[in-house]
Chain A
Amino acid sequence: MTDSQMRKADFLSAIVLMALGAVFVAVALGMPPYKQGWYAAPGFTPLVFGSILGFMGLILFARTLIKGGWAFRLNADHWRRVRDSKAVRRVSVMCAFIFAFLFLFDKVPFLLLSSAFLFGTIWYFKGAKLWVNAVVSVVATTIVWYIFGVIFMIPLP
């Protein structure tokens, strides 16, 4: 990321940080008091640290204002670049694989799901030849299953 891009990103980060700080403070203020004193209430420490986070966001915000980080505009060209980016596509596909794996984790037997996950991801990211991929997927899953499921007796799905 270039310095100019980072300044713009910092401007947005600062807004998010101030908002997060405000949320933590607002929820902390709604927590019940403690009979011995306000300082022992469960919301006291979150109140302090939420305020610090908001204050740090404010410092970052002021800094980016001075350096001109606010001067940016999102246009169609920007979105087209994101859409056509190979990196974005690869991250999206990996995330899709991960979400599918998590969704099916307690629904499909571990050996089957993990072998299929490994085979699918290694195939998409061109990690190995097809036959190597198949062997690695099955052998790695079996080893993991044996060590954790059999030796350590961890109940796998």
Chain B
Amino acid sequence: MGVIQLFSEIGKQAIPLDLLIMFAATFLGIVIGMLPGLTATMGIALLTTLTFKWDAGSAIMTLIGIYIGAIYGGSRTAILLNIPGTPANAATCLDGYPLARSGKGAEAIGLATTASFLGSVVGLIALSFFTPVLGNMALEFKSYEIFWLAVFGVAICGNLTASKDHLKGWVSGIFGILLSFVGMDKIQGFTRYTFGIQNLNAGFDIIPVLVGTYGLVEIIHNLSMQDNKEVVTQLGRVIPRLRDLAANWWNIIRSGLTGVVVGIIPGVGENIASYVAYDFAKRASKTPERFGHGAKEGLIASETANNACVGGALVPVLSLAIPGSPPAAVLLAALWIHGLRPGPLLMMENPNYIYQFSAMFFWGTLAMLILGLTIVKPMLHILKLKNGLLMPLVFLFCTIGTFSINGRPFDLMVMVFFGLLAFPMRKLGFPDAPFVLGIILGPMIDENMRRGLILSDGNFGAFFHSPISLVLVVFVAFTLFGRSAPVMWVRGGAKRGVAALLGRKV
């Protein structure tokens, strides 16, 4: 039933003008995603104002195209320059950039594009057929569960990005969480750690932090070296090899499902989805040591998950009117502006709308695949530019992207502060990613920890009551202590025991 309705809507929307709008919007989304500092959230917000007077169908189509394009487009700069265009692409840097440096830039972008497409397809299936069911699942996540999920996100990111010394990864994450406490707290309205600086009352905006930590550090790092960049002559093939995709079929499905599940949880966005999927891929890999040095599995996992997360994040938007991620929140507002009423009554008032919405998502996904694969080669010329030319230009984009969020020069100072803080941190082996993730998730940790304690009258046991909490606690414990000597000994013993039962050698 649903399948027929979906295909019927896809057919109805195959009008040249609509398709042109979708392709233009997706292309604009890719460009927004590529520019460090401009995020999907900002792109949707900007285009909501520009499409305000359009009819609802074209306007929502444009915004969906921007959303899909921006989440995907950030992978370009992540792969080519080691600067994630949006927070969702931070995990893509880990393996995408080493692949590009080894002369496989085109292949990395081709793989990222295909993985993003497949991730979007998984998201599309979730959006079309499981919206009511998955929407109810999201309601099971309350303060305790969200707290553990955020802690798990920081811990796992610390593990992944500091594989030689996990302690430094966790230190980065904890430091990021602490810096996120700067500004007014959300429960009592008390200003913390501002030291009388009024501009800090609202805390650190994530965009200047992200641009400073990734963009500025990369600029300073590249300019600190003599300009002896190797010209990449072997670009590699753009269309991914079928055997690479076939070898990763389970990785793609697992990462897609991970992205969807993380996406439907309110407030948790694409950035966590990509790290969680990356970790799962690394744990399941036969060659985990290649992760961080150009492993295709890692690139596929992160890009599949972040685009699957887009579909997942839209599920609670349509079913419960609760956004699953920041860009989805802006999209929800845009739906309201255009007179649509997402929420539990949508299925009763306008039962076909989910399929109309899903059909737009389908065309956006297809546009992303086609545009992504056809505009790869021109993009790779970026790699051939001298650092002395490229980095000042990148700095200008970083600056204007940061300034355009709130239009205040203070954000530029924040950007530079975080750049100058993150540069020595990187040199000393403290990774950037958990630091940034800590700043993103810190408010969520603070709010849910204290709210959970208020709800339980200070009883810490409440954090361990629900089955979801317990599963997440096990994940956190395993992430923190999974490689410690006693656990390894127990695991080794269990492995030997099972092998003995099966009559096999370990």
Binding site for B on A (CB under 8 A): 1, 6, 9-10, 13, 17, 20, 24, 27-28, 31-32, 34, 36-46, 48-50, 52-53, 56-57, 59-60, 86-88, 90-91, 94-95, 98-99, 101-102, 105-106, 114, 117-118, 121-122, 124-128, 133, 136, 140-141, 144, 148, 152, 154-156
Contact = CB atoms under 8 A, between A and B. Distances in A.
B392 A125 contact: yes
A44 to B, nearest CB: 6
A43 B191 CA distance: 10
B171 A17 contact: yes
B428 interface: yes
B391 A125 contact: yes
Contacts of A40: 187-188, 450, 453-454
Nearest to A63: B167
B458 interface: yes
Given A9-B428, A53-B178, A42 B453 contact: no
Interface string B396-428: 110110011001010011001000100000011
Contact of B174 (A28, A37, A53): A53
A148 to B, nearest CB: 6
A128 B449 contact: no
Contacts, number: 160
Given A44-B453, A127-B390, A141-B396, 11 more contacts: A10-B429, A36-B454, A45-B449, A45-B450, A91-B220, A94-B219, A94-B223, A102-B412, A105-B409, A127-B389, A154-B403
B396 A140 contact: yes
A51 to B, nearest CB: 10
B387 interface: yes
Nearest to B171: A56
A58 B190 CA distance: 30
Given A45-B450, A148-B400, A106 B409 contact: yes
Interface in B183-199: 185, 187-188, 190, 192-193
Contacts of B449: 44-45, 48
Contacts of B188: 34, 40-42
Contacts of A90: 223-225
In the complex, which range does the number of interface residues on chain B fall in? 35 or more
Nearest to A38: B458
Interface string B376-394: 0000000000111111110
B18 interface: no
B223 A60 contact: no
Contact of B457 (A37, A53, A121): A37
A154 B396 contact: no
A24 B389 contact: no
B38 to A, nearest CB: 10
Given A60-B171, A90-B223, A128 B388 contact: yes
A92 B478 CA distance: 43
A109 to B, nearest CB: 14
Interface of B: 46, 167-168, 170-171, 174-175, 177-178, 181, 185, 187-188, 190, 192-193, 216, 219-220, 223-227, 386-393, 395-397, 399-400, 403-404, 407, 409, 412-413, 416, 420, 427-430, 445-446, 449-450, 453-454, 457-458
Contacts of B403: 105, 154, 156
Nearest to A124: B388
A46 B413 contact: no
A53 B171 contact: yes
A122 B389 contact: yes
A57 to B, nearest CB: 8
A10 B213 CA distance: 21
Contacts of B46: 152
- Closest 6 pairs between A and B when the two form their complex, measured CB to CB: A127-B388, A127-B389, A125-B388, A121-B392, A39-B453, A42-B190
A122 B413 contact: no
Among A17, A57, A94, A126, chain B packs the most CB atoms within 10 A around the CB of A94
Contact of A98 (B168, B388, B395): B395
Contact of A46 (B167, B178, B395): B178
A121 B216 CA distance: 14
A45 B446 contact: yes
Among A44, A48, A127, chain B packs the most CB atoms within 10 A around the CB of A127
Contact of B388 (A20, A32, A126, A141): A126
B463 to A, nearest CB: 12
A140 B393 contact: yes
A154 B404 contact: yes
Contacts of A154: 403-404, 407
